[in-house]
Amino acid sequence: MTEHVSHEHDVLVIGAGGAGLRAAAEAAAAGVKVAVISKSLLGKAHTVMAEGGIAAALANVDERDTWCVHFADTMRGGQYLNSWRMAELHAKEAPACVRELEAWGAVFDRTLDGRILQRNFGGHRYPRLAHVGDRTGLEMIRTLQDHDIHLGIDVFMEYTIVTLLKDGDRIAGAFGYERERGRFHVFRAKAVVLATGGIGRAYKITSNSWEYTGDGHALAYHAGAGLMDMEFVQFHPTGMIWPPSVRGILVTEGVRGEGGVLRNKDGHRFMFDDIPTAYVNQTADTEEEGWRYTQGDKNARRPPELLTRDHVARCIRREVKEGRGSPHGGVFLDIAWIKERIPNASEHIKRKLPSMYHQFKQLADIDITQVPMEVGPTTHYMMGGVRVDPDSQMSEVPGLFAAGECGAGLHGANRLGGNSLSDLLVFGKRAGQYAANYAKEHSLGAIDADELESAEKRALAPFERDGGEGPYAVQYALQEMMQDLVGIVRQEKEMLEALERIQELKVREERVGVNGNREYNPGWHTAIDLNNLLTVSEMVTKAALERKESRGAHFRDDYPKKDDKFGTFNIVIRKGAGGEMQVRREPIPEMPQALKQIIEEMK
């Protein structure tokens, strides 16, 4: 075994996005020694790409908004597979978390009387998203980063964790390496918080950054934790589709919240053609009513462009499949049309959507203030993740916590826009708090030298396969396969084929070889990521096969209807004693009558 560097902390946070930085801040405030491990540079986490805003019932724009409405909206959006306790905590605590972020220096857009401005977003009954133009995630990361660096937190930038370490059943730390030099490090810790984000890089077309290779999901799985709702992968309805070099880059829902509309090649607003029964009473009947809603008319109902993301994505796919799509296989998203309604529309759009204006101007040479954008669905968010206790965010492995996109429970079958950023704040804070409490009550666990040696050997194996297949070829093959066979619309035959292909790719992954040495070697990094990508891809496919219905982000051609009996349980995946992947149905706990009453009153 080669020499490695050892570190000791009370709480180790893996991931430096919104959830990780918020967890670290809370743990440090509790007086424990904290370290944060970032796969990229600090401040570069994928949270910066979150554009629309933070969902919280502040009621600054519409006084009718309350935590009860937010709770009901979240449960309805998740098709009632959500953890009702997490949805309750989230709705109640999000406003205070937003105000806390403001107190730490976040600069939000303002109402005329100086309060935090909130915008409309899909699936939310009232204007609820606190925002900074269309750069809210960037402002969140900037604020949390500035706050955290004054708390004495140790930050390890450009490090990758390859395995979690255990002492018996409990967590004992993590083993990884620094990406620049390739040196191995052992991080001993009393508690570990996973905040590694999603799995988008398992798909060909994605809005996710390069870090999103399912690291936290795979680490938790191999450590013995259960993972839940892995069949639910959200395809955001609006990603860039042209030119090919920018395909998949996110186009914020904020465009539609500011009055943008979706049209097919014939100029028809097709979203009016298919409104789900559960949303009929809350959706505008006419284009005029929809416009009035986006302009703050409290008596108007939301336009169908602001229905839930899963539904909008499937409607776009239908238009393309039936020959009514745009020239490059999408549809048109038009914000320029508002010049028919308001003066100085061009300046208004640039002020409200500055990132979108520059993104299309620089990457596609399109002026969104004058012409429509071409958009199509892109892999965006993972509702599934580590199964955690709703209050503490601790997994089934003692001392292992998870928060943000890496955790599961809040969003159920489909996430509402804006709930991700408030999720990061509410449950990042809780994970940090309870991880610190756990660390105060426990000592450092023992490290197994054989476990370290085995992990190091696995990490270095690609160097020993001289002339083996390159890692990028395997990664691209996996992404193509998942996009084609386990995408927006699924069926049993294709998913069974996907499982066979995953097994074939596992064999190829075991033969992957890399050249050179451990310093500055992106091929080696990709080879290590492959195992995580294959693990989460298998989870998604097996969970999707088990759910024989269509619900939320999971749509099956062979089972196109929702089945009530599938609404009584979550699908949970664990690693068996023999290394096999086990799939089980776990009943959803009974919701208290008081929360049931809230949902009934909000229908």
User: Tens digits of per-residue pLDDT, 108-143?
Assistant: 999 999 999 999 888 899 999 999 988 999 999 999
Averaged over 230-243, what is the pLDDT?
94
CA distances to 72, 125, 457, 568, 591 from 598, rounded to whole Å, are 7, 14, 54, 19, 11
Task: Give the separation between CA 527 and CA 206, rounded to whole angstroms.
Answer: 20
Give the model confidence (pLDDT) of 561-577 as tens digits: 999 999 999 999 999 99
Give the model confidence (pLDDT) of 146-165 as tens digits: 999 999 999 999 999 999 99
Cβ–Cβ contacts within 10 Å for residue 546, how many? 15
Residue 375 has φ and ψ, to the nearest 5°, of -135, 160
C-alpha angle 307-312-314 in degrees, rounded to nearest 5: 145
DSSP H helix total and E strand total for the chain: 16, 20
Name the band, by pLDDT with cuts 50, 70 and 90, for residue 467: confident
- What's the number of CA atoms in the CB half-sphere (13 Å) around residue 551? 29
Averaged over 415-436, what is the pLDDT?
97
Averaged over 5-29, what is the pLDDT?
97
Using DSSP's 3-state secondary structure scheme, residue 418 falls into coil
For domain 236-379, give the fold. Answer: Flavocytochrome C3; Chain A, domain 1 (3.90.700)
Assess whether 7 carries a catalytic annotation.
Answer: no
Name the band, by pLDDT with cuts 50, 70 and 90, for residue 50: confident
Averaged over 80-100, what is the pLDDT?
98
List 256, 311, 501, 554, catalytic entry: 256
Provide, rounded to the nearest whole percent, the portion of the chain with pLDDT above 70: 100
Residue 528 has φ and ψ, to the nearest 5°, of -70, -40
> Which residue is it, tokens 């589709």?
241
Assess whether 236 carries a catalytic annotation.
Answer: yes
Task: Give the separation between CA 398 and CA 358, rounded to whole angstroms.
Answer: 46
Using DSSP's 3-state secondary structure scheme, residue 7 falls into strand
As a whole number, the mean pLDDT across the chain is 95
Kindly state the DSSP code that residue 179 receives in the 8-state scheme.
T
Residue 492: per-residue pLDDT = 97
Residue 1: per-residue pLDDT = 65
3-state secondary structure 477-544: HHHHHHHHHCCCEECHHHHHHHHHHHHHHHHHHHCCCCCCCCCCCHHHHHHHHHHHHHHHHHHHHHHH
Whether pLDDT at 466 is above 80: no
Q: Which residues pair with 333 in a beta bridge?
A: 262, 373
The model's pTM is 0.93
Report the chain's C-alpha Rg in angstroms: 23
Averaged over 469-494, what is the pLDDT?
96
Averaged over 24-39, what is the pLDDT?
98
Averaged over 53-78, what is the pLDDT?
97
Whether pLDDT at 48 is above 90: no
Give the model confidence (pLDDT) of 438-454 as tens digits: 999 999 999 999 999 99
Q: Which residues pair with 9 in a beta bridge?
A: 189
Residue 133: per-residue pLDDT = 87
Task: Give the separation between CA 251 and CA 377, rounded to whole angstroms.
Answer: 10
Give the model confidence (pLDDT) of 527-554 as tens digits: 999 999 999 999 999 999 999 999 999 9
CA distances to 178, 215, 464 from 512, rounded to whole Å, are 21, 19, 10
**Contact in structure between 178 and 524 (CB atoms under 8 Å):** no
Kindly state the DSSP code that residue 307 receives in the 8-state scheme.
S
Question: Where in the sequence of the chain do the CATH 3.90.700.10 domains occur?
Answer: 236-379
Task: Give the separation between CA 555 and CA 413, rounded to whole angstroms.
Answer: 11
Averaged over 210-215, what is the pLDDT?
95
Give the model confidence (pLDDT) of 288-331 as tens digits: 999 999 998 989 999 999 998 889 999 999 999 999 999 999 99
Residue 243: per-residue pLDDT = 86
List 236, 430, 518, 525, catalytic entry: 236
Task: Give the separation between CA 598 and CA 393, rounded to whole angstroms.
Answer: 25
**Alpha helices (H) in 230-368, listed in sequence order:** 254-257, 287-294, 309-321, 345-352, 354-364
CA 600 distance to own-chain centroid: 29
Question: Where in the sequence of the chain do the CATH 1.20.58.100 domains occur?
Answer: 461-587
For domain 461-587, give the fold. Answer: Methane Monooxygenase Hydroxylase; Chain G, domain 1 (1.20.58)
